[in-house]
Amino acid sequence: MITLPNGEAAKSLSVYDDVCRRLLAEEVGRDALFINWGGGAVSDFGGFVASTFKRGAAMVNVPTTLLAMIDAAIGGKNALNVGGVKNTIGTFYLPEMVLTDTQFLATLPQSEILNGMGELLKYALIGDVSLWRELKNLDKVSAEVISPSWITFCREFKERVVARDFRDNGERRLLNFGHTAGHALEAAFAPALSHGHAVALGCVVAAYISYNHNFISKESFDEIYDFVKKWYSFANVSDKIDEIIDYCRQDKKNSNGQIRFILLRSIGSAFVTTTSEQELKEALLYSF
Ligand SMILES: NC(=O)c1ccc[n+]([C@@H]2O[C@H](COP(=O)([O-])OP(=O)(O)OC[C@H]3O[C@@H](n4cnc5c(N)ncnc54)[C@H](O)[C@@H]3O)[C@@H](O)[C@H]2O)c1
C-alpha cells in the first residue's frame, strides 16, 4: 500500500518519481494490478502510474468521492500537473473495472458532496430531465440523499459516450458542458472555488446562453439559476471579467479563434457549438 499526499499534491512529477522508485525497490513487474483507491486525484495519479510503469500494467479504480464515482474514475483519462498547470501530461488508459461502494460517501464532508454535485448537475442537464427534477427538489445535500441510481446513471452515461469517442475528438466534448466558464472561474478564483463548485457556476452561464438562443425557456434558466444559487456561493465576476475571458480564450477546447461551447438543446440534451467572447462576457455578467 502506498499512501499519497492529499488531493492535487499527489499529481506531481516528484511524487511520480518517488512512487516509481518504490515500485522498483519492491520489484513490482508488469503483471501487477494497481488498485487506485481514493478520490479523483488518486485515480488520475494511479492511472498515470499504471499506464506508464514498465509500459503499462492492469488497474482497478475504487472511487471514494462522489466526483470520482460519477466522473474522474470513469473513462480512462488520467494526468499529472506540471509547473502549476493542471493535467499537463497524461494518458488515455482504461481500468479493468471500477468498483463503487456508496458507503464511502458517509465520511465525505458536505463541501465534497457539493463538489460532486456540480458534476451531477451537469449530467442531469445534458442527459436526464428526470434526474434534474429530482435534484431541483432537494431540500438538503448530504451523503444520505445521494441515490445510488444517480451514480449508476452518470457512470453509464459517461461509459456510453467514452465507448463512442475514447480520445475526445467529438461526442465526449458534451461532457464539458459547464466547463468552459467553469474552468475559467476555477482558475480566476483559485483556490477558493472547488472544481465542482466552478462547474455548477459554469452550468448557469451555459444555461443562460442556451436561453438566449431560445433553446430553453426563461423558466428553465431561472430554475437552474435558483438551484445553483441555493447550494453554492456566487463569485463576484465583474472585477475579474477580463481575466476570466482570457482563461476562456486559452481553453484547450478552442480552435480557429472560436470559443468552443456546449449548449442545451433542451433540458436533458446538449450539443457542441461555438460562442463569441462578447456573448460569454454578457452571460457571465448577467449570471453573477
Ligand atoms: N480523469 C478524469 O476524467 C477526471 C474528471 C474529473 C476530475 N478529475 C480530477 O479529479 C480530481 C478531483 O477529484 P476529487 O474531487 O475526488 O478530489 P480529491 O481526490 O482531491 O478528494 C477530495 C478530498 O476528499 C478526501 N476523501 C476522499 N475520499 C474520502 C472519503 N470517502 N471520506 C472522506 N474524505 C475523502 C481526499 O483525501 C481529499 O482531501 C482533480 O485532480 C481533477 O483534475 C479527473
CA of 65 to the centre of ligand 1 (A): 6
Rg (CA), the chain: 19
Predicted local confidence at residue 7, as pLDDT: 94
The pick from 12, 51, 67, 93 for probing ligand 1's pocket by mutation, whose C-beta has the most ligand atoms within 8 angstroms, reads 67
Predicted local confidence at residue 129, as pLDDT: 98
pTM: 0.96
DSSP state of 8: G
Mean pLDDT, contiguous 10-residue spans, the chain (288 residues) = 97 98 97 98 98 98 98 98 92 98 97 98 98 97 96 98 95 96 93 94 98 97 97 93 91 72 97 93 94
| Cα–Cα distance, 123 to 213 (Å, whole number) | 21
Ligand 1 pocket member 44 (CB < 6 A)? yes
Catalogue all structural domains in the chain, each as residue range(s) with its CATH number.
7-105 (3.40.50.1970), 109-287 (1.20.1090.10)
Predicted local confidence at residue 86, as pLDDT: 87
DSSP assignments along 35-103, one per residue: EEEESHHHHHHHHHHHHHGGG--EEEEEE-SHHIIIIITSSSEEEEEETTEEEEEEEE---SEE---GG
| Cα–Cα distance, 48 to 62 (Å, whole number) | 15
Ligand 1 pocket member 69 (CB < 6 A)? no
| Cα–Cα distance, 141 to 261 (Å, whole number) | 29
Closest-CA residue, ligand 1 atom 33, reads: 108
Predicted local confidence at residue 252, as pLDDT: 60
